[in-house]
Amino acid sequence: MPLRSAKPGKTRPEPEAEAHAEGLDRYDVAILAALQADARLSNADLATRIGLSAAPTWRRVKWLEQQRYITGYRAEIDRRRIGLGVFAFVRVDAERNAGGAAKLLEDAIRRLPEVTACHYISGNGTFELQVMATDLDAFSRFATETLLNLPNVKDIHTSFSLGEVKAGAALPLTHLQRPAADGKGRRAPRSV
């Protein structure tokens, strides 16, 4: 396992490529929470919020990015302001769930900008899509001319959002703030 320098003269094991949440300390969790709330924070503002100086905060952010805890940054856009008035949940039933056929359908779904999220689901159906459209007529055209003509699609079932109660929410991080296994409520600090 490669070693990473924590301080001059000291090394520690490099986290595995598929890092686990157990490797995060309270500062890492604070960084994740702060950046989920406002990804435009300057490093200085972020450092002030989490209680570290700027240099270690910057190193921690870079480490979180390298370990893929942070996978990107983006702006949240009000869909209604840009004319996307219809939000639909579409369950797609596939003809076959065999490898090659499912892969063709997955690849086709990934190329559709109207589909903002896609999940394999349990129960009835194969995929659950979140689809945006300007209005019901545009959604109807998209469903009949595009979705139903994708490879391996047997049927689709649609439900429309009548109003958003919660959207664009940050991921819950409270499970990362549990006390350490030593029973003293402390976790060993992670040097970066």
| CATH code, 114 | 3.30.70.920
Average pLDDT over residues 157-182: 83
Residue 90's SS3 state is strand
Please report which helix (H) or strand (E) contains residue 88, including its range.
Answer: strand 86-94
92, 151: one domain: yes
145 located within any domain: yes
Phi first, then psi, for residue 171 (nearest 5°) are -70, 145
Of all residues in the chain, the percent with pLDDT exceeding 90 is 65
Asked if residue 107 has pLDDT above 70, the reply is yes
30 located within any domain: yes
176 located within any domain: no
Average pLDDT over residues 94-117: 89
Closest CA to 64 of 48, 46, 77: 46
Any idea how long the chain is? Answer: 192
Of all residues in the chain, the percent with pLDDT exceeding 70 is 80
90, 67: one domain: no
pTM: 0.74
> pLDDT tens across 39-55, in order?
999 999 999 999 999 99
Angle at 11 between CA 5 and CA 13, to 5 degrees: 100
pLDDT of residue 100: 82
165 located within any domain: no
63 located within any domain: yes
Owning domain of residue 125:
86-160
- State how far the Cα of 135 lies from the Cα of 157, in Å rounded to an integer: 18
pLDDT of residue 180: 54
Question: Which of 18-32, 57-71, 101-115 is predicted with the least confidence, judged by mean pLDDT?
Answer: 18-32
Residue 19's SS3 state is coil
52, 93: one domain: no
**In the structure encoding, which two tokens stand for residue 109, read together?**
């779904």
- State how far the Cα of 145 lies from the Cα of 85, in Å rounded to an integer: 20
Q: How many domains does the chain have?
A: 2
Residue 158 — pLDDT band, cuts 50, 70, 90?
Answer: very high
Contacts of 81 (CB under 8 A, 6+ apart): none
